[in-house]
Structure 1
Protein backbone atom coordinates (compact mmCIF):
# COMPACT_ATOMS: atom_id res chain seq x y z
CA UNK A 1 0.00 0.00 0.00
CA UNK A 2 2.76 2.42 0.99
CA UNK A 3 4.72 1.50 -2.15
CA UNK A 4 1.65 2.17 -4.29
CA UNK A 5 1.12 5.56 -2.64
CA UNK A 6 4.78 6.51 -3.13
CA UNK A 7 4.70 5.53 -6.82
CA UNK A 8 1.49 7.45 -7.35
CA UNK A 9 2.92 10.50 -5.57
CA UNK A 10 6.13 10.33 -7.60
CA UNK A 11 4.18 10.11 -10.85
CA UNK A 12 2.02 13.04 -9.86
CA UNK A 13 5.07 15.09 -8.90
CA UNK A 14 6.76 14.31 -12.21
CA UNK A 15 3.62 15.34 -14.05
CA UNK A 16 3.43 18.60 -12.13
CA UNK A 17 7.09 19.34 -12.91
CA UNK A 18 6.69 18.41 -16.56
CA UNK A 19 3.64 20.60 -17.09
CA UNK A 20 5.45 23.93 -16.54
CA UNK A 21 8.36 22.72 -18.69
CA UNK A 22 5.97 21.77 -21.49
CA UNK A 23 4.27 25.14 -21.14
CA UNK A 24 7.65 26.86 -21.40
CA UNK A 25 8.54 24.87 -24.53
CA UNK A 26 5.17 25.72 -26.09
CA UNK A 27 5.60 29.41 -25.22
CA UNK A 28 9.14 29.45 -26.64
CA UNK A 29 7.96 27.84 -29.86
CA UNK A 30 5.09 30.30 -30.16
CA UNK A 31 7.44 33.20 -29.49
CA UNK A 32 9.93 32.04 -32.15
CA UNK A 33 7.09 31.47 -34.63
CA UNK A 34 5.69 34.95 -33.99
CA UNK A 35 9.06 36.66 -34.45
CA UNK A 36 10.14 34.58 -37.42
CA UNK A 37 13.61 35.09 -38.88
CA UNK A 38 16.28 37.04 -36.92
CA UNK A 39 15.29 40.70 -36.83
CA UNK A 40 17.91 43.49 -36.86
CA UNK A 41 17.40 46.38 -34.44
CA UNK A 42 16.19 49.47 -36.31
CA UNK A 43 15.11 51.92 -33.62
CA UNK A 44 18.51 53.37 -32.76
CA UNK A 45 19.69 57.00 -33.02
CA UNK A 46 20.44 58.22 -36.53
CA UNK A 47 22.97 59.76 -36.50
CA UNK A 48 24.31 58.21 -33.31
CA UNK A 49 25.31 60.98 -30.83
CA UNK A 50 28.95 60.01 -30.24
CA UNK A 51 30.59 62.40 -27.81
CA UNK A 52 34.33 61.61 -27.69
CA UNK A 53 35.50 60.81 -31.21
CA UNK A 54 39.14 61.65 -31.93
CA UNK A 55 37.84 63.89 -34.72
CA UNK A 56 34.21 65.00 -35.07
CA UNK A 57 32.44 63.25 -37.92
CA UNK A 58 35.28 60.77 -38.47
CA UNK A 59 35.80 57.17 -37.31
CA UNK A 60 39.56 56.77 -36.87
CA UNK A 61 40.56 53.11 -37.12
CA UNK A 62 43.90 51.52 -36.23
CA UNK A 63 44.85 48.45 -38.28
CA UNK A 64 47.97 46.51 -39.21
CA UNK A 65 47.13 46.08 -42.87
CA UNK A 66 49.10 42.83 -42.66
CA UNK A 67 46.64 40.19 -41.49
CA UNK A 68 45.01 38.61 -44.56
CA UNK A 69 42.21 37.93 -45.29
CA UNK A 70 40.94 40.42 -42.70
CA UNK A 71 43.17 43.37 -43.48
CA UNK A 72 45.92 43.65 -46.08
CA UNK A 73 47.26 45.85 -48.85
CA UNK A 74 46.15 44.79 -52.33
CA UNK A 75 49.39 44.26 -54.31
CA UNK A 76 47.74 45.44 -57.54
CA UNK A 77 46.05 48.63 -56.33
CA UNK A 78 48.15 49.41 -53.25
CA UNK A 79 44.88 49.98 -51.38
CA UNK A 80 44.01 48.70 -47.93
CA UNK A 81 41.40 45.93 -48.23
CA UNK A 82 40.05 42.81 -46.57
CA UNK A 83 36.95 41.57 -44.75
CA UNK A 84 37.55 43.66 -41.63
CA UNK A 85 38.48 46.73 -43.63
CA UNK A 86 35.04 46.45 -45.22
CA UNK A 87 33.52 45.80 -41.79
CA UNK A 88 35.07 49.01 -40.43
CA UNK A 89 33.83 50.90 -43.50
CA UNK A 90 30.31 49.49 -43.01
CA UNK A 91 30.31 50.54 -39.34
CA UNK A 92 31.40 54.06 -40.26
CA UNK A 93 28.73 54.32 -42.95
CA UNK A 94 25.96 53.16 -40.61
CA UNK A 95 27.15 55.55 -37.91
CA UNK A 96 27.06 58.41 -40.40
CA UNK A 97 30.81 58.98 -40.19
CA UNK A 98 33.73 59.32 -42.58
CA UNK A 99 36.52 56.79 -42.02
CA UNK A 100 40.25 57.23 -41.64
CA UNK A 101 42.65 54.29 -41.31
CA UNK A 102 45.92 54.45 -39.39
CA UNK A 103 48.33 51.63 -40.27
CA UNK A 104 50.86 50.41 -37.70
CA UNK A 105 52.38 47.20 -36.34
CA UNK A 106 50.23 45.08 -34.04
CA UNK A 107 52.48 45.92 -31.08
CA UNK A 108 51.27 49.53 -31.31
CA UNK A 109 47.53 48.87 -31.70
CA UNK A 110 46.41 48.42 -28.09
CA UNK A 111 48.80 51.08 -26.71
CA UNK A 112 47.49 53.39 -29.45
CA UNK A 113 43.94 52.98 -28.17
CA UNK A 114 45.08 53.73 -24.63
CA UNK A 115 46.94 56.81 -25.92
CA UNK A 116 43.77 58.10 -27.65
CA UNK A 117 45.20 57.77 -31.16
CA UNK A 118 42.11 56.17 -32.67
CA UNK A 119 38.50 55.30 -31.88
CA UNK A 120 38.34 51.71 -33.02
CA UNK A 121 40.92 49.02 -33.79
CA UNK A 122 41.88 45.33 -33.86
CA UNK A 123 41.41 42.94 -36.74
CA UNK A 124 39.91 40.45 -34.31
CA UNK A 125 41.57 40.67 -30.88
CA UNK A 126 41.44 37.42 -28.94
CA UNK A 127 39.77 37.35 -25.55
CA UNK A 128 41.68 36.66 -22.37
CA UNK A 129 41.19 37.77 -18.74
CA UNK A 130 43.69 40.64 -19.00
CA UNK A 131 42.11 42.13 -22.11
CA UNK A 132 38.52 41.71 -20.95
CA UNK A 133 39.37 43.39 -17.65
CA UNK A 134 41.62 46.11 -19.08
CA UNK A 135 41.00 49.81 -18.49
CA UNK A 136 43.16 50.64 -21.54
CA UNK A 137 40.53 49.66 -24.11
CA UNK A 138 37.04 48.15 -24.40
CA UNK A 139 36.17 44.93 -26.24
CA UNK A 140 33.07 44.53 -28.38
CA UNK A 141 30.88 41.44 -28.62
CA UNK A 142 32.57 38.64 -30.62
CA UNK A 143 32.95 38.98 -34.37
CA UNK A 144 34.33 35.48 -34.84
CA UNK A 145 36.01 32.40 -33.41
CA UNK A 146 39.64 31.58 -34.05
CA UNK A 147 42.31 29.12 -32.99
CA UNK A 148 46.07 28.93 -32.45
CA UNK A 149 47.81 26.80 -35.09
CA UNK A 150 51.16 26.78 -36.84
CA UNK A 151 52.64 26.66 -40.32
CA UNK A 152 55.83 24.88 -41.31
CA UNK A 153 57.56 23.82 -44.51
CA UNK A 154 57.14 20.29 -45.84
CA UNK A 155 60.85 19.50 -45.51
CA UNK A 156 60.73 19.74 -41.69
CA UNK A 157 58.50 16.66 -41.44
CA UNK A 158 56.54 18.34 -38.62
CA UNK A 159 52.76 18.00 -38.36
CA UNK A 160 51.94 18.57 -34.69
CA UNK A 161 53.04 20.84 -31.87
CA UNK A 162 54.25 17.76 -29.99
CA UNK A 163 56.91 17.40 -32.69
CA UNK A 164 58.29 20.88 -31.98
CA UNK A 165 58.29 20.73 -28.19
CA UNK A 166 62.01 21.54 -28.08
CA UNK A 167 62.40 23.09 -31.52
CA UNK A 168 62.16 26.72 -32.67
CA UNK A 169 58.87 28.55 -32.98
CA UNK A 170 58.29 32.03 -34.40
CA UNK A 171 55.42 34.50 -34.45
CA UNK A 172 54.38 38.12 -34.53
CA UNK A 173 55.60 40.13 -31.57
CA UNK A 174 52.80 40.78 -29.05
CA UNK A 175 50.23 38.45 -30.64
CA UNK A 176 48.33 36.34 -28.15
CA UNK A 177 48.65 33.18 -30.28
CA UNK A 178 52.43 33.37 -30.20
CA UNK A 179 52.51 34.19 -26.49
CA UNK A 180 50.15 31.28 -25.76
CA UNK A 181 52.33 28.91 -27.78
CA UNK A 182 55.38 29.95 -25.79
CA UNK A 183 53.54 29.08 -22.57
CA UNK A 184 52.34 25.76 -24.00
CA UNK A 185 55.82 24.90 -25.33
CA UNK A 186 58.20 26.18 -22.63
CA UNK A 187 61.15 24.15 -23.94
CA UNK A 188 60.92 25.57 -27.46
CA UNK A 189 63.15 28.44 -28.53
CA UNK A 190 61.07 31.47 -29.53
CA UNK A 191 61.87 34.05 -32.23
CA UNK A 192 59.59 37.06 -32.68
CA UNK A 193 58.95 39.10 -35.82
CA UNK A 194 57.30 42.51 -36.38
CA UNK A 195 54.63 41.20 -38.77
CA UNK A 196 53.18 38.19 -40.57
CA UNK A 197 55.17 38.62 -43.77
CA UNK A 198 58.44 38.93 -41.84
CA UNK A 199 57.59 35.77 -39.89
CA UNK A 200 56.94 33.83 -43.12
CA UNK A 201 60.25 35.07 -44.50
CA UNK A 202 61.87 33.88 -41.27
CA UNK A 203 60.31 30.45 -41.81
CA UNK A 204 61.74 30.22 -45.32
CA UNK A 205 65.15 31.40 -44.08
CA UNK A 206 65.24 28.75 -41.38
CA UNK A 207 65.03 31.18 -38.45
CA UNK A 208 62.10 29.17 -37.08
CA UNK A 209 60.77 25.68 -37.75
CA UNK A 210 57.15 26.64 -37.12
CA UNK A 211 55.40 30.01 -37.34
CA UNK A 212 52.51 30.32 -34.90
CA UNK A 213 49.42 32.29 -36.00
CA UNK A 214 45.64 32.20 -35.90
CA UNK A 215 43.76 29.72 -38.07
CA UNK A 216 42.18 32.46 -40.21
CA UNK A 217 45.60 33.77 -41.24
CA UNK A 218 47.02 30.28 -41.67
CA UNK A 219 44.29 29.19 -44.10
CA UNK A 220 44.72 32.41 -46.08
CA UNK A 221 48.50 31.96 -46.31
CA UNK A 222 48.19 28.33 -47.36
CA UNK A 223 45.79 29.30 -50.12
CA UNK A 224 47.31 32.52 -51.45
CA UNK A 225 51.03 32.49 -50.65
CA UNK A 226 53.47 31.92 -53.55
CA UNK A 227 55.06 29.23 -51.37
CA UNK A 228 51.72 27.58 -50.50
CA UNK A 229 52.70 24.22 -52.02
CA UNK A 230 55.61 23.96 -49.57
CA UNK A 231 53.56 24.75 -46.46
CA UNK A 232 52.02 22.34 -43.94
CA UNK A 233 49.49 23.13 -41.21
CA UNK A 234 50.64 22.28 -37.68
CA UNK A 235 48.02 21.31 -35.10
CA UNK A 236 45.82 20.38 -33.41
CA UNK A 237 44.89 23.87 -32.23
CA UNK A 238 46.55 24.88 -28.97
CA UNK A 239 43.60 27.09 -28.06
CA UNK A 240 40.20 28.15 -29.42
CA UNK A 241 38.91 31.61 -28.55
CA UNK A 242 36.39 34.36 -29.41
CA UNK A 243 37.71 37.52 -31.05
CA UNK A 244 36.34 41.03 -31.25
CA UNK A 245 37.04 44.63 -32.14
CA UNK A 246 38.57 47.05 -29.61
CA UNK A 247 37.21 50.48 -28.67
CA UNK A 248 38.87 53.58 -27.22
CA UNK A 249 38.34 53.46 -23.41
CA UNK A 250 37.02 57.04 -23.47
CA UNK A 251 34.20 56.08 -25.84
CA UNK A 252 31.69 53.74 -24.11
CA UNK A 253 28.97 55.25 -26.30
CA UNK A 254 30.84 54.00 -29.37
CA UNK A 255 30.99 50.53 -27.78
CA UNK A 256 27.19 50.49 -27.42
CA UNK A 257 26.74 51.68 -31.01
CA UNK A 258 29.18 49.14 -32.47
CA UNK A 259 27.70 46.25 -30.46
CA UNK A 260 24.21 47.17 -31.71
CA UNK A 261 25.37 47.19 -35.33
CA UNK A 262 27.40 43.99 -34.96
CA UNK A 263 24.27 42.27 -33.66
CA UNK A 264 22.43 43.49 -36.75
CA UNK A 265 25.17 42.24 -39.05
CA UNK A 266 24.96 38.81 -37.42
CA UNK A 267 21.17 38.78 -37.77
CA UNK A 268 20.94 39.90 -41.39
CA UNK A 269 23.96 37.94 -42.66
CA UNK A 270 26.19 40.94 -43.39
CA UNK A 271 29.03 39.71 -41.18
CA UNK A 272 29.04 36.24 -42.72
CA UNK A 273 28.89 37.76 -46.21
CA UNK A 274 31.91 40.00 -45.57
CA UNK A 275 33.96 37.10 -44.20
CA UNK A 276 32.96 34.83 -47.07
CA UNK A 277 33.98 37.44 -49.63
CA UNK A 278 37.65 37.04 -48.68
CA UNK A 279 37.84 33.58 -47.04
CA UNK A 280 37.04 30.05 -48.18
CA UNK A 281 34.79 29.47 -45.15
CA UNK A 282 32.43 31.47 -42.93
CA UNK A 283 32.81 29.00 -40.04
CA UNK A 284 34.39 31.62 -37.77
CA UNK A 285 31.07 33.51 -37.81
CA UNK A 286 28.71 30.56 -38.17
CA UNK A 287 30.11 28.86 -35.04
CA UNK A 288 29.65 31.88 -32.77
CA UNK A 289 26.46 30.26 -31.48
CA UNK A 290 28.68 27.57 -29.92
CA UNK A 291 29.73 30.17 -27.33
CA UNK A 292 26.31 31.76 -26.91
CA UNK A 293 26.39 34.46 -29.62
Structure 2
Protein backbone atom coordinates (compact mmCIF):
# COMPACT_ATOMS: atom_id res chain seq x y z
CA UNK A 1 0.00 0.00 0.00
CA UNK A 2 1.09 3.57 -0.58
CA UNK A 3 1.17 6.16 2.16
CA UNK A 4 -1.59 8.76 1.92
CA UNK A 5 -1.42 12.41 2.90
CA UNK A 6 -4.17 13.84 5.13
CA UNK A 7 -6.87 15.43 2.99
CA UNK A 8 -7.42 19.16 3.24
CA UNK A 9 -11.05 18.80 4.24
CA UNK A 10 -10.01 16.66 7.20
CA UNK A 11 -7.46 19.16 8.46
CA UNK A 12 -9.52 22.26 7.92
CA UNK A 13 -12.42 21.35 10.20
CA UNK A 14 -12.59 22.57 13.79
CA UNK A 15 -16.13 21.65 14.72
CA UNK A 16 -15.95 19.88 18.07
CA UNK A 17 -18.68 21.12 20.38
CA UNK A 18 -18.61 21.48 24.15
CA UNK A 19 -21.52 19.05 24.34
CA UNK A 20 -19.39 16.29 22.81
CA UNK A 21 -16.53 17.09 25.17
CA UNK A 22 -18.92 16.97 28.14
CA UNK A 23 -20.36 13.64 26.98
CA UNK A 24 -16.90 12.14 26.63
CA UNK A 25 -15.89 13.45 30.06
CA UNK A 26 -18.99 11.87 31.57
CA UNK A 27 -17.99 8.56 29.95
CA UNK A 28 -14.60 8.81 31.63
CA UNK A 29 -12.49 9.78 28.62
CA UNK A 30 -9.47 12.07 28.65
CA UNK A 31 -11.16 14.80 26.65
CA UNK A 32 -7.96 16.73 26.03
CA UNK A 33 -6.61 13.74 24.10
CA UNK A 34 -9.75 13.19 22.05
CA UNK A 35 -11.16 16.72 21.71
CA UNK A 36 -10.31 17.06 18.03
CA UNK A 37 -11.33 13.65 16.68
CA UNK A 38 -14.15 15.22 14.65
CA UNK A 39 -11.64 17.41 12.81
CA UNK A 40 -10.30 14.27 11.15
CA UNK A 41 -13.57 12.87 9.82
CA UNK A 42 -14.22 12.67 6.08
CA UNK A 43 -17.69 14.10 6.62
CA UNK A 44 -18.78 16.54 9.31
CA UNK A 45 -20.23 14.71 12.34
CA UNK A 46 -20.18 11.34 10.51
CA UNK A 47 -17.83 8.37 10.74
CA UNK A 48 -17.54 6.80 7.26
CA UNK A 49 -17.07 3.04 7.60
CA UNK A 50 -15.91 0.62 4.92
CA UNK A 51 -17.29 -2.91 5.20
CA UNK A 52 -18.01 -5.84 2.88
CA UNK A 53 -21.51 -6.92 3.85
CA UNK A 54 -20.44 -10.41 2.72
CA UNK A 55 -18.72 -11.89 5.78
CA UNK A 56 -21.52 -13.12 8.06
CA UNK A 57 -21.98 -12.55 10.91
CA UNK A 58 -19.28 -9.86 11.07
CA UNK A 59 -20.95 -7.92 8.26
CA UNK A 60 -23.88 -9.12 6.16
CA UNK A 61 -27.22 -8.36 4.57
CA UNK A 62 -30.01 -9.62 6.84
CA UNK A 63 -33.36 -11.15 5.91
CA UNK A 64 -34.96 -7.73 5.51
CA UNK A 65 -32.27 -6.57 3.08
CA UNK A 66 -30.49 -4.29 5.57
CA UNK A 67 -26.79 -4.15 6.37
CA UNK A 68 -26.29 -5.95 9.68
CA UNK A 69 -23.71 -7.88 11.68
CA UNK A 70 -21.34 -7.60 14.61
CA UNK A 71 -19.17 -4.90 13.01
CA UNK A 72 -22.22 -2.91 11.96
CA UNK A 73 -23.81 -3.08 15.41
CA UNK A 74 -20.51 -2.15 17.05
CA UNK A 75 -19.94 0.89 14.84
CA UNK A 76 -23.50 2.09 15.43
CA UNK A 77 -22.88 1.84 19.19
CA UNK A 78 -19.52 3.61 18.89
CA UNK A 79 -21.01 6.44 16.84
CA UNK A 80 -23.86 6.85 19.31
CA UNK A 81 -21.48 7.03 22.27
CA UNK A 82 -19.24 9.53 20.47
CA UNK A 83 -22.22 11.68 19.56
CA UNK A 84 -21.83 11.42 15.78
CA UNK A 85 -23.52 9.67 12.86
CA UNK A 86 -22.23 6.63 10.97
CA UNK A 87 -22.31 5.93 7.25
CA UNK A 88 -21.45 2.52 5.78
CA UNK A 89 -19.91 1.99 2.36
CA UNK A 90 -19.73 -1.56 0.96
CA UNK A 91 -16.75 -2.87 -0.98
CA UNK A 92 -15.08 -6.24 -1.60
CA UNK A 93 -12.57 -7.11 1.10
CA UNK A 94 -9.58 -6.73 -1.24
CA UNK A 95 -10.41 -3.03 -1.69
CA UNK A 96 -11.11 -2.08 1.91
CA UNK A 97 -7.65 -1.50 3.37
CA UNK A 98 -6.33 0.17 0.19
CA UNK A 99 -9.47 2.32 0.34
CA UNK A 100 -8.60 3.31 3.90
CA UNK A 101 -5.15 4.42 2.75
CA UNK A 102 -6.73 6.29 -0.15
CA UNK A 103 -8.93 8.29 2.24
CA UNK A 104 -12.23 6.68 1.21
CA UNK A 105 -13.15 5.70 4.79
CA UNK A 106 -12.43 6.74 8.35
CA UNK A 107 -12.71 3.15 9.61
CA UNK A 108 -12.73 -0.36 8.15
CA UNK A 109 -15.04 -2.68 10.09
CA UNK A 110 -15.03 -6.15 8.56
CA UNK A 111 -13.34 -8.62 10.90
CA UNK A 112 -9.85 -7.21 10.31
CA UNK A 113 -7.21 -9.62 11.63
CA UNK A 114 -4.51 -8.00 13.77
CA UNK A 115 -1.44 -9.29 11.93
CA UNK A 116 2.18 -8.39 12.62
CA UNK A 117 2.40 -6.32 9.45
CA UNK A 118 -0.85 -4.45 10.09
CA UNK A 119 0.10 -3.66 13.69
CA UNK A 120 3.42 -2.21 12.51
CA UNK A 121 2.05 -0.45 9.43
CA UNK A 122 2.09 3.31 8.93
CA UNK A 123 -0.80 2.94 6.48
CA UNK A 124 -3.44 2.21 9.11
CA UNK A 125 -4.06 2.13 12.86
CA UNK A 126 -5.14 -1.26 14.23
CA UNK A 127 -7.23 -1.00 17.37
CA UNK A 128 -7.13 -3.34 20.36
CA UNK A 129 -8.92 -6.73 20.17
CA UNK A 130 -12.69 -6.82 19.86
CA UNK A 131 -12.93 -10.61 19.42
CA UNK A 132 -10.77 -13.75 19.68
CA UNK A 133 -10.79 -16.16 16.77
CA UNK A 134 -8.60 -18.65 14.87
CA UNK A 135 -8.38 -20.50 11.56
CA UNK A 136 -10.35 -23.66 10.85
CA UNK A 137 -11.31 -26.09 8.11
CA UNK A 138 -14.72 -25.58 6.54
CA UNK A 139 -15.85 -28.42 4.27
CA UNK A 140 -18.88 -30.23 2.93
CA UNK A 141 -20.45 -32.38 5.63
CA UNK A 142 -20.50 -35.25 3.12
CA UNK A 143 -16.75 -35.09 2.50
CA UNK A 144 -15.29 -38.04 4.40
CA UNK A 145 -11.81 -37.49 2.99
CA UNK A 146 -11.13 -34.55 5.30
CA UNK A 147 -11.42 -35.14 9.03
CA UNK A 148 -8.57 -32.91 10.23
CA UNK A 149 -5.55 -30.82 9.25
CA UNK A 150 -3.53 -33.90 8.27
CA UNK A 151 -6.02 -34.56 5.47
CA UNK A 152 -5.85 -31.22 3.62
CA UNK A 153 -2.36 -31.61 2.16
CA UNK A 154 -2.45 -31.31 -1.62
CA UNK A 155 -6.15 -30.49 -1.73
CA UNK A 156 -7.62 -27.34 -3.28
CA UNK A 157 -8.51 -24.63 -0.77
CA UNK A 158 -10.62 -21.51 -1.20
CA UNK A 159 -9.76 -18.29 0.62
CA UNK A 160 -11.08 -14.73 0.63
CA UNK A 161 -8.92 -12.56 -1.62
CA UNK A 162 -6.55 -10.42 0.44
CA UNK A 163 -7.43 -12.06 3.77
CA UNK A 164 -4.90 -12.94 6.46
CA UNK A 165 -6.08 -16.53 6.88
CA UNK A 166 -4.01 -18.04 4.07
CA UNK A 167 -0.71 -17.05 5.72
CA UNK A 168 -1.90 -18.32 9.11
CA UNK A 169 -2.90 -21.62 7.49
CA UNK A 170 0.36 -21.91 5.56
CA UNK A 171 2.36 -21.36 8.75
CA UNK A 172 0.39 -24.06 10.59
CA UNK A 173 0.89 -26.75 7.94
CA UNK A 174 4.00 -28.80 7.12
CA UNK A 175 6.22 -27.39 4.39
CA UNK A 176 4.90 -28.32 0.96
CA UNK A 177 1.52 -29.43 2.31
CA UNK A 178 -0.63 -26.60 1.01
CA UNK A 179 -2.28 -27.47 -2.29
CA UNK A 180 -3.82 -25.21 -4.93
CA UNK A 181 -5.19 -21.95 -3.53
CA UNK A 182 -8.20 -20.26 -5.16
CA UNK A 183 -9.22 -16.74 -4.17
CA UNK A 184 -12.76 -15.37 -3.93
CA UNK A 185 -14.33 -11.99 -3.15
CA UNK A 186 -16.43 -13.44 -0.32
CA UNK A 187 -18.33 -16.29 1.29
CA UNK A 188 -21.12 -16.55 -1.30
CA UNK A 189 -18.90 -17.30 -4.28
CA UNK A 190 -16.57 -19.54 -2.30
CA UNK A 191 -19.30 -21.67 -0.70
CA UNK A 192 -20.93 -22.11 -4.11
CA UNK A 193 -17.68 -23.53 -5.50
CA UNK A 194 -17.38 -25.79 -2.46
CA UNK A 195 -20.84 -27.21 -3.09
CA UNK A 196 -19.99 -27.67 -6.76
CA UNK A 197 -16.76 -29.51 -5.82
CA UNK A 198 -14.48 -26.95 -7.44
CA UNK A 199 -12.60 -26.66 -4.15
CA UNK A 200 -12.12 -29.25 -1.42
CA UNK A 201 -12.23 -26.98 1.62
CA UNK A 202 -12.37 -23.37 2.70
CA UNK A 203 -9.59 -21.78 4.73
CA UNK A 204 -11.29 -19.21 6.91
CA UNK A 205 -11.72 -18.22 10.52
CA UNK A 206 -13.68 -20.40 12.94
CA UNK A 207 -16.49 -18.17 14.23
CA UNK A 208 -17.88 -16.82 10.96
CA UNK A 209 -18.23 -20.16 9.12
CA UNK A 210 -19.57 -21.77 12.32
CA UNK A 211 -22.41 -19.25 12.29
CA UNK A 212 -23.15 -20.03 8.63
CA UNK A 213 -22.83 -23.81 9.04
CA UNK A 214 -25.49 -23.67 11.76
CA UNK A 215 -27.88 -22.48 9.04
CA UNK A 216 -26.70 -24.89 6.32
CA UNK A 217 -26.56 -28.63 7.04
CA UNK A 218 -24.46 -29.30 3.96
CA UNK A 219 -21.45 -27.46 5.43
CA UNK A 220 -19.49 -28.19 8.58
CA UNK A 221 -16.59 -26.52 10.40
CA UNK A 222 -14.05 -28.76 12.12
CA UNK A 223 -13.39 -27.98 15.76
CA UNK A 224 -9.58 -28.08 15.60
CA UNK A 225 -8.85 -24.34 15.60
CA UNK A 226 -5.29 -23.25 14.86
CA UNK A 227 -3.34 -19.99 14.96
CA UNK A 228 -5.33 -18.13 17.65
CA UNK A 229 -5.75 -14.55 16.54
CA UNK A 230 -7.50 -11.34 17.43
CA UNK A 231 -9.54 -9.06 15.20
CA UNK A 232 -10.64 -5.46 15.46
CA UNK A 233 -11.24 -2.21 13.60
CA UNK A 234 -8.73 -0.44 11.35
CA UNK A 235 -8.62 3.37 11.38
CA UNK A 236 -7.16 5.73 8.77
CA UNK A 237 -3.54 6.68 9.57
CA UNK A 238 -4.26 10.41 9.92
CA UNK A 239 -7.21 9.80 12.29
CA UNK A 240 -5.17 9.34 15.47
CA UNK A 241 -7.59 11.11 17.83
CA UNK A 242 -10.50 9.16 16.35
CA UNK A 243 -8.55 5.92 16.84
CA UNK A 244 -7.87 6.80 20.48
CA UNK A 245 -11.50 7.68 21.11
CA UNK A 246 -12.83 4.45 19.57
CA UNK A 247 -10.16 2.32 21.26
CA UNK A 248 -11.12 3.76 24.64
CA UNK A 249 -14.71 2.68 23.98
CA UNK A 250 -13.61 -0.82 22.90
CA UNK A 251 -11.66 -1.17 26.15
CA UNK A 252 -14.73 -0.06 28.07
CA UNK A 253 -16.96 -2.48 26.14
CA UNK A 254 -14.56 -5.37 26.87
CA UNK A 255 -14.70 -4.60 30.57
CA UNK A 256 -18.42 -3.94 30.99
CA UNK A 257 -19.62 -6.91 28.90
CA UNK A 258 -20.94 -4.91 25.95
CA UNK A 259 -18.68 -6.73 23.47
CA UNK A 260 -19.60 -10.17 24.74
CA UNK A 261 -23.28 -9.32 24.62
CA UNK A 262 -22.89 -8.43 20.93
CA UNK A 263 -20.65 -11.45 20.27
CA UNK A 264 -23.21 -13.79 21.84
CA UNK A 265 -26.01 -12.17 19.82
CA UNK A 266 -24.25 -12.60 16.50
CA UNK A 267 -21.99 -15.63 17.00
CA UNK A 268 -24.06 -17.59 19.52
CA UNK A 269 -21.20 -17.88 22.03
CA UNK A 270 -19.11 -15.47 24.10
CA UNK A 271 -15.32 -15.28 24.13
CA UNK A 272 -13.01 -15.22 27.16
CA UNK A 273 -11.00 -12.01 26.85
CA UNK A 274 -8.77 -13.13 29.73
CA UNK A 275 -7.32 -15.63 27.21
CA UNK A 276 -6.52 -13.05 24.56
CA UNK A 277 -3.38 -14.21 22.70
CA UNK A 278 -0.37 -11.93 22.58
CA UNK A 279 0.03 -9.68 19.57
CA UNK A 280 2.10 -11.28 16.77
CA UNK A 281 5.68 -10.06 16.58
TM range (shorter): 0.7 to 0.9
State how 1:38-57 maps to structure 2 within 5 Å. 42-45=28-31, 48-50=35-37, 51-57=39-45
Per the alignment, residue 149 of structure 2 pairs with 161
**1:151-205 deviation line (CA, Å, top 9, x unaligned):** 1113321111210101111111111113332454544111111111111001001
| Mapped pair 1:201 → 2:188 | no
> Equivalent residue of 2:250, what SS?
helix
How far has the Cα of 1:238 moved from its partner? 3.0
Equivalent of 2:204 in 191, 204, 213: 213
Give the CA deviation at 1:292.
7.1
1:121-146 Cα shifts (integer Å, max 9, x gaps): 13221122211111111100111111
Would you say 1:126 and 2:113 are equivalent positions? yes
Equivalent residue in structure 1 for 2:58, among 63, 70, 73: 70
Partner in structure 2 of residue 9 of structure 1: none
Residue 6 (structure 1) aligns with = none
Give the secondary structure class of the aligned counterpart of 2:242: helix
**Mind listing any 5+ residue stretches in structure 1 that lack a counterpart?**
1-39
Which residue number corresponds to residue 183 of structure 2?
A: 192
* Paired residues of 1:41 and 1:260 also in contact (CA < 8 A): no
Change (3 A) 1:288 1:103: farther
Q: SS of the residue aligned with 2:86?
A: strand
Q: Distance in 2 between matches of 1:43 and 1:129?
A: 28
Q: Which residue of 2 aligns with 1:86?
A: 73
Secondary structure (helix, strand or coil) at the match of 1:239 reads: strand
TM-score, structure 1 normalization:
0.79
Closer/same/farther in 2, CA of residues 289 and 179 from structure 1, 3 Å limit? closer
Given that residues 169 and 211 in structure 1 are in contact (C-alpha distance below 8 angstroms), is that contact kept between their aligned partners in structure 2? yes
CA distance 1:209–1:63, shift in 2 (3 Å): same
Q: Which moved more, 1:94-103 or 1:271-280?
A: 271-280
| Cα deviation, residue 80, structure 1 | 0.3
SS in 1 for 2:238: coil
Cα distance change of structure 1 residues 221 and 272 upon mapping to structure 2, 3 Å threshold = same
Task: State the TM-score, normalized to the length of structure 2.
Answer: 0.82
Is 1:266 aligned to 2:254, yes or no? yes
* RMSD over aligned Cα atoms: 2.1
Partner of 1:230: 218
Deviation at 1:115, TM superposition (A): 0.5
